[in-house]
């Protein structure tokens, strides 16, 4: 496909686990929103036809033979981008919660020199509102991450992100365990990557289930706080 | 020797046989086999030489000898469980890397058929 010489090759990474019902639609939306970009679906060990549906919609598919979790799936996508020389990567959820219409804005911020761009739900744009418990949790994490990164971060748990070439290469090799988002922000900050937030709209999920239940959220908050503390104690 | 000593000794021998059998069929690693055999020897030694518990307790400054035994047992278990937890994390990391590598090596293009 034709691409201006000065524009880096772009890879859209969609993470999917048992998203047979909606992955094809998401892939088509992303392809329409980012003409010229390659779309890679990382199938994190789905038991259904996610891989087949994604391919039928025109995506490349990397399949984990076993379920490895969000963090590893993201790293697999970034490793693919790194090995195949992509200049920019946008990472989104396969269930369509991340509105592909905003992917271009994230990639533009990478083009402008940011290493890591986070799509934030908490901006002037009206989004689907997460529950109050999750909102409070998010506010707490946002305060912690903002303090540690010495810059305002409003949505540290957002997985709608774009990576520049160097940042993609870094996170392809080293990445946090389990739910990676807040910790990876601190890692990026500590390794000198520039972080920027861009307002995005997120949609409620139409199919599938969220991996975070209220009980797990509390545990998640504690584990993330511990992970952030440990990251601070690590040698750079 | 008292009857309880014989029972403990028999248990230690039985445990050693089980360990060696699983090592023979390659279900456990030599590294671990050696450690477990060491545990068997220690149990057998204390079964045969009962006053050894008193000597140990005295050396550790513990008045009630069985407490010394409990303490040593819990300490040994704690170390073994901790090592297992570290080993498990390492294995998890290796499995993850392997699975990711498989995924990256077998990326399918839109026109390719489904792989098993």
> CB–CB of A94/A14 below 8 Å?
yes
List, as ranges, residues 14-43 from A with C-beta within 8 Å of B: 40, 42
Closest CA to A96 of A216, A14, A12, A193: A14
pLDDT given for residue A212 in this prediction: 62
pLDDT given for residue B115 in this prediction: 57
> d(Cα B19, Cα B28) in Å, to the nearest integer?
8
Q: How far is B105 from chain A (nearest CA, A)?
A: 8
Per-residue pLDDT of A147-174, as tens digits, reads 888 898 899 889 999 999 999 999 998 8
pLDDT at A129 over 70: no
Q: What are phi and psi of B35, to 5 degrees?
A: -60, -45
Q: Where do we find the tokens 């570290």? A: B86
Residue in B99, B102, B112 nearest the CB of A55? B112
Closest CA to A91 of A113, A111, A71, A63: A71
Which residues are within 8 A (CB) of A79 and not within 5 positions of it... i.e. 6 or more apart? A172, A173, B100, B104
Look up the ipTM and state it: 0.81
Find chain B residues with C-beta within 8 A of A61's C-beta: 107-108
Closest CA to A86 of A195, A28, A166, A29: A166
CA dist list (Å): A206 to A22, A25, A28: 8, 12, 16
Q: Is A98 helix (H, G, I), strand (E, B) or coil?
A: strand
Q: Where do we find the tokens 């919609």? A: A57
Three-state SS string over A113-133 comes to CCCEEEEECCCCCCCCCCCHH
pLDDT at A53 over 90: yes
Per-residue pLDDT of B57-107, as tens digits, reads 999 999 999 899 999 999 999 998 999 999 999 999 999 999 999 999 999
A94: its two tokens: 């396969």
């Amino acid at each position: 496909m034709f691409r201006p010489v000065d524009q880096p090759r772009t890879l859209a990474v969609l993470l999917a686990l048992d998203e047979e019902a909606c992955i094809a639609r998401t892939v088509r939306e992303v392809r329409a929103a980012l003409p010229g970009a390659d779309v890679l679906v990382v199938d994190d060990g789905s038991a259904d036809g996610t891989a087949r549906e994604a391919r039928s919609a025109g995506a490349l598919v990397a399949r984990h033979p076993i379920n490895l979790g969000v963090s590893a799936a993201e790293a697999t996508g970034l490793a693919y981008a790194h090995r195949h020389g992509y200049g920019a990567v946008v990472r989104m959820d396969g269930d369509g919660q991340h509105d592909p219409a905003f992917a271009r804005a994230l990639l533009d911020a990478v083009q402008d020199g940011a290493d890591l761009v986070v799509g934030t739900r908490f901006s002037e744009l009206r989004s689907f509102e997460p529950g109050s418990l999750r909102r409070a949790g998010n506010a707490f994490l946002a305060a912690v991450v903002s303090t540690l990164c010495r810059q305002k971060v409003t949505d540290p748990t957002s997985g709608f992100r774009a990576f520049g070439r160097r940042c993609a290469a870094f996170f392809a090799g080293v990445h946090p365990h389990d739910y990676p988002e807040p910790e990876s922000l601190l890692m990026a900050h500590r390794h000198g990557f520039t972080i920027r937030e861009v307002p995005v709209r997120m949609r409620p999920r139409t199919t599938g289930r969220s991996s975070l239940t209220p009980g797990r959220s509390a545990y998640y908050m504690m584990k993330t706080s511990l992970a952030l503390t440990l990251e601070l104690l690590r040698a750079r | 020797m008292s009857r309880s000593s014989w029972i403990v000794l028999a248990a230690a021998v039985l445990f050693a046989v089980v360990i060696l059998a699983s090592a023979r069929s390659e279900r456990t690693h030599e590294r671990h086999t050696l450690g477990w055999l060491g545990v068997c020897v220690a149990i057998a030694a204390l079964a045969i030489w009962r006053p050894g518990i008193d000597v140990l307790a005295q050396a550790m400054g513990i008045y009630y000898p069985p407490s010394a035994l409990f303490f040593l047992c819990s300490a040994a278990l704690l170390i073994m469980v901790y090592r297992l937890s570290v080993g498990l994390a390492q294995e998890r990391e290796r499995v993850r890397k392997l699975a990711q590598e498989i995924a990256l090596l077998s990326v399918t293009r839109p026109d390719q058929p489904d792989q098993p």
